[in-house]
């Protein structure tokens, strides 16, 4: 009795040994020099020039033999049959020349100019090298003569405007050698010819000599300030980042071509948002306290993508990243008669069958008498609409701290101001994934029955008719969490110094003690897990309480 293997046949009871070796090396070289000069007039210049190079290489080798002489000595040279050896080398490298010029005048005007000329082994010809410039400007208005009166009154000590623009290159393509044709080879597992499996090869895919660097272009504007004798400090900034010439999907060509089409630089994406920081620190008698707040926001938009049909199966021009397309929920049918009345006007058969009391009624938004996905394009999405976006928006945090006569207290809060979540899988729905995957949490018991008409969930079903992406079960992912609270007491030095100790502090600390959220209680809003399979199947964040002593001698 034998069956086909990659090296012929392999009989039950046969012995086999494998040995595998892998080696990787990373080399980095950085050479630079700089020169600076300060003039009595207040001008300051600094020039920097440099070169850097990096190389990452790998080597692997695998040996395999059958028929061990002794199972107690499992090595390649103590086996006698079926020699198989595989292995390979690979490497990628980058090199770059860079320079920077800095200029300041009396800490009032600031300028910086950067330039990089980078090359990558992943590209060929005139596409291998790219030049990426950047510059930034700053103006500290508080150092101007007309602001001196504010400085004397300790009203405004810092007021600085800043702006920057720049480009950087990205070379993280999927393949280290996208410009080489490779011939796929393998072994035919369906046939045995003369006691062995024949090998085969197929046409190599096309490659493109035009693939080159992705360019990340960004600019931002900002304002930094300090007021009221530095008690109030803060900064605010707005940024726009564009990823240009991204390596995207291969363009669609006729199947008559007979091979795969290479990927090219054919996509653009725009990211934009703001950053805000505010802080207040003061003292009232022996009581010292501080408040700090920060918030940031960012959105991403696809501005170029090869999708001529605007199919919803992939990205399309004008798409906001992480859009959620879904149906509009009318509600749960309270009786078979109500469902039949709905079905007499709207055909929901594309979403399932066996509709009755306790099932979801979906809205016919385009008025064609059916609920479906249409052509599944932006021009004809049927009754689908953008019902939300899972991008976390308005990420914020704030800290409160105070100290008084040796006691100190610090509270740190963190949260997200806006986020929509569609939670698929068995953890949210309970009866989902068939009899082998379905489960029941306490929350799932609030399902529709004639005795429970105001239930949250529709009637249980292993089919997906009630589990379609829809407005009625879209979750509000915004939350606020007390990430940490720490209470401490520092013993008076008069006590500790008698014991030859410089400082002794006793504290108690708690992490993740409070959470305010609208998400289903089954989930942790900070650690949802996958949004594309079974959400919630992840190790939850823990509440931690710790007590300790810090001693300094």
Question: Residue 436: beta bridge partners?
Answer: none
pLDDT digits 0-9 by tens, 360-401:
999 999 999 999 999 999 999 999 999 999 999 999 999 999
Pick the closest to residue 415 from 427, 431, 437, 399 (CA basis): 399
d(CA 512, CA 508): 14
Instruction: Categorize the per-residue pLDDT at 27 as very low, low, confident or very high, splitting at 50, 70 and 90.
Output: very high
- What value does the mean pLDDT take over residues 271-286? 96
pLDDT category of residue 449 using cuts at 50, 70 and 90: very high
- pLDDT of 12 reads 64
What lies within 8 Å, CB to CB, of 315 at 6+ separation is: 267, 302, 305, 307
Q: Does residue 373 contact residue 382 with C-beta atoms inside 8 Å?
A: yes
**End-to-end Cα, the chain, rounded Å:** 77
Note the Cα 496 to chain centre separation in Å: 48
The pLDDT value given to residue 252:
72
Identify the burial level of 150 via C-beta atoms within 10 angstroms of its C-beta, where 0-12 means exposed, 13-18 middle and 19 or more buried. Answer: middle
In this predicted structure, what is the pLDDT of residue 264? 85
- Output the pLDDT for position 10: 52
Among 131-135, 156-160, 199-203, 427-431, the range scoring the smallest mean pLDDT is 199-203
E-only strand ranges, 11-152: 16-38, 43-68, 79-105, 109-120, 129-140
Query: What is the per-residue pLDDT for 1?
Result: 26
d(CA 115, CA 132): 6
In the predicted structure, residue 310 carries a pLDDT above the cut 80? yes
Q: What is the pLDDT of residues 458-489, one digit of tens each?
A: 999 888 899 999 999 999 999 999 999 999 99
- Burial label for 269, CB within 10 Å (0-12, 13-18, 19+), is buried
Is the pLDDT at 73 greater than 90? The verdict is no
Q: Burial of 29 by CB count in 10 Å (0-12 exposed, 13-18 middle, 19+ buried)?
A: exposed
Identify whether the C-beta of residue 262 lies closer than 8 Å to the C-beta of residue 248.
Answer: no
If you count them, how many residues does the chain have?
Answer: 553
| Other beta carbons within 10 Å of 208 | 17
Quickly state the pLDDT bin for 47 (edges 50, 70, 90).
very high
Asked whether the predicted pLDDT for residue 315 surpasses 50, the reply is yes
What confidence score (pLDDT) does residue 342 get?
Answer: 97
Query: Measuring CA to CA, which residue among 376, 357, 361 is closest to residue 316?
Result: 376
According to the per-residue pLDDT averaged within each range, which of 193-197, 357-361, 492-496 is highest? Answer: 357-361
Confidence category of residue 152, pLDDT binned at 50, 70, 90: low
Which is nearest to 222 in space by CA: 136, 147, 113, 290?
136
Contact 268, 303 (CB under 8 A): yes
In this predicted structure, the answer to whether residue 4 has a pLDDT above a threshold of 90 is no
> What number is the average pLDDT over the span 65-89?
86
Which pLDDT band, with edges at 50, 70 and 90, does 149 fall under? low
Per-domain boundaries in the chain:
16-48+56-102+109-118
pLDDT at 374: 95
Half-sphere exposure of 223 (CA within 13 A, CB side): 8
Query: HEC profile for 161-209?
Result: EEEEEEEEEECCCCCCCCCCCCCCEEECCCCCECCECCEEECCCCCCCC
At residue 370, the pLDDT reads: 96
- Give the 3-state secondary structure of residue 422: coil
The segment with the largest mean pLDDT, out of 247-256, 259-268, 401-410, is 401-410
**What per-residue confidence (pLDDT) applies to 145?**
80
Given this model, what pLDDT does residue 390 score?
96
Do residues 108 and 143 touch, judged by C-beta distance below 8 A? yes
- Residue-wise pLDDT for 346-357, tens only, equals 999 999 999 999
Provide the 10 A C-beta neighbour count for residue 91.
15
The pLDDT of residue 420 is 97
Residue 184 has pLDDT above 90, yes or no: no
pLDDT at 3 over 50: no
Q: What is the pLDDT of residue 7?
A: 45
Question: Average pLDDT in the 91-120 region?
Answer: 95
Torsion angle (degrees, nearest 10) of CA 436, 441, 444, 446: 150
Q: Mean pLDDT lowest for which of 120-129, 142-151, 225-234, 532-541?
A: 142-151
pLDDT in tens, 51-70: 999 999 999 999 999 888 88
Q: Check residue 151 and give its pLDDT.
A: 57
Q: What is the mean pLDDT of the chain?
A: 90
Residue of 386, 387, 390, 385 whose CA lies nearest to 419: 390
């Amino acid at each position: 009795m034998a069956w086909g293997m990659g090296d012929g046949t392999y009989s039950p009871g046969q012995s086999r040994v494998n040995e595998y070796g892998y080696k990787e090396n990373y080399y980095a070289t950085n050479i630079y020099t700089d020169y600076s000069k300060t003039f009595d007039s207040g001008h300051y210049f600094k020039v920097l020039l440099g070169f850097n190079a990096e190389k990452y290489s790998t080597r692997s080798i695998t040996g395999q033999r059958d028929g061990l002489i002794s199972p107690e000595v499992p090595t390649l040279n103590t086996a006698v049959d079926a020699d198989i050896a595989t292995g390979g080398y690979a490497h990628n490298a980058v090199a770059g020349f860079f320079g920077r010029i800095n200029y300041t005048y009396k800490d009032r005007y600031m300028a910086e100019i950067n330039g990089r000329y980078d090359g990558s082994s992943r590209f060929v010809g005139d596409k291998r090298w790219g030049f990426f410039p950047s510059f930034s400007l700053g103006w500290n208005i508080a150092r101007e003569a007309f602001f001196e009166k504010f400085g004397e009154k300790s009203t405004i000590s810092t007021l600085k405007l800043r702006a920057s623009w720049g480009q950087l290159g990205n070379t993280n393509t999927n393949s280290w050698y996208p410009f080489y044709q490779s011939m796929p080879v393998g072994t035919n597992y369906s046939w045995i010819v003369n006691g062995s499996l024949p090998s085969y090869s197929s046409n190599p895919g096309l490659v493109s000599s035009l693939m080159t660097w992705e360019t990340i272009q960004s600019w931002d504007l900002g304002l930094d300030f300090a007021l009221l004798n530095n008690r109030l400090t803060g900064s605010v900034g707005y940024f726009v980042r564009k990823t240009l010439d991204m390596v995207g999907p291969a363009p669609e060509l006729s199947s008559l071509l007979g091979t795969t089409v290479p990927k090219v630089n054919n996509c653009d994406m725009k990211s934009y948002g703001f950053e805000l920081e505010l802080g207040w620190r003061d003292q009232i008698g022996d009581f010292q306290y501080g408040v700090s707040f920060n918030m940031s926001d960012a959105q991403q938009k696809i501005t170029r993508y090869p999708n001529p049909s605007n199919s919803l199966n992939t990205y399309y021009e004008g798409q906001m990243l992480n859009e959620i397309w879904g149906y509009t929920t009318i509600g749960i049918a309270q009786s078979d008669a109500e469902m039949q009345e709905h079905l007499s006007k709207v055909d929901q058969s594309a979403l399932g069958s066996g509709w009755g009391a306790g099932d979801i009624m979906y809205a016919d938004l385009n008025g064609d008498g059916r609920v479906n996905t249409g052509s599944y394009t932006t021009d004809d999405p049927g009754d689908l609409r953008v019902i939300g976006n899972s991008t976390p928006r308005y990420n914020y945090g704030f800290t409160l701290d105070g100290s008084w006569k040796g006691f100190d207290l610090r509270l740190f809060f963190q949260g997200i101001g806006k986020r929509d979540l569609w939670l698929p899988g068995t953890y949210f729905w309970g009866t989902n994934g068939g009899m082998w995957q379905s489960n029941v949490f306490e929350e799932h018991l609030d399902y529709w029955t004639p005795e429970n008409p105001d239930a949250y969930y529709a009637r249980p079903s292993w089919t997906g008719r009630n589990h379609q992406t829809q407005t009625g079960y879209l979750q509000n992912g915004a939350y606020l969490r007390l990430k940490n609270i720490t209470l401490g007491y520092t013993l008076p030095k008069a006590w500790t110094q008698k014991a030859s100790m410089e400082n002794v502090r006793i504290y108690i600390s708690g992490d993740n003690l409070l959470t305010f959220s609208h998400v289903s209680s089954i989930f942790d809003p900070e650690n949802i897990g996958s949004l594309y399979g079974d959400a919630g199947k992840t190790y939850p964040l823990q509440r931690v309480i710790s007590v300790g002593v810090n001693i300094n001698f």
